Amino acid sequence: MTTSTYTVKGMTCGHCVSSVKEEVGEVAGVTSVEVELKSGRLTVVSDGPVDQEKISGAVEEAGYELVGSS
């Protein structure tokens, strides 16, 4: 299991959070997604390492921007 944390920019409501969770949850290998609206923190748990570009693409598909990772 691999856990990665990112920061998402542009979310303003619960629907935003749901959209990000749904899109990131569809990335191959992702097993769990948590999103905190206030901080913009996106926590992704996966079976193994997932390319950040795939996570970024999913966030952009939801209409937001991935601005950092840790």
pLDDT tens digits, the chain, 70 residues: what are they? 999 999 999 999 999 999 999 999 999 999 999 999 999 999 999 999 999 999 999 999 999 999 987 7
**Architecture category of domain 1-45 in CATH:** 2-Layer Sandwich (3.30)
Return all residues near 52 (Cβ < 8 A) that are at least 6 apart.
Answer: 4, 6, 66, 69
Residue-level pLDDT at 70: 72
Task: Assess contact for 39 and 61: CB atoms under 8 A.
Answer: no
HSE-up of residue 1 (Cα within 13 Å, Cβ side): 6
Residue-level pLDDT at 69: 79
* Domain locations along the chain: 1-45
Return all residues near 42 (Cβ < 8 A) that are at least 6 apart.
Answer: 5, 6, 7, 8, 20, 24, 33, 34, 35, 36, 55, 59, 66
Residue-level pLDDT at 50: 94
pTM of the model: 0.93
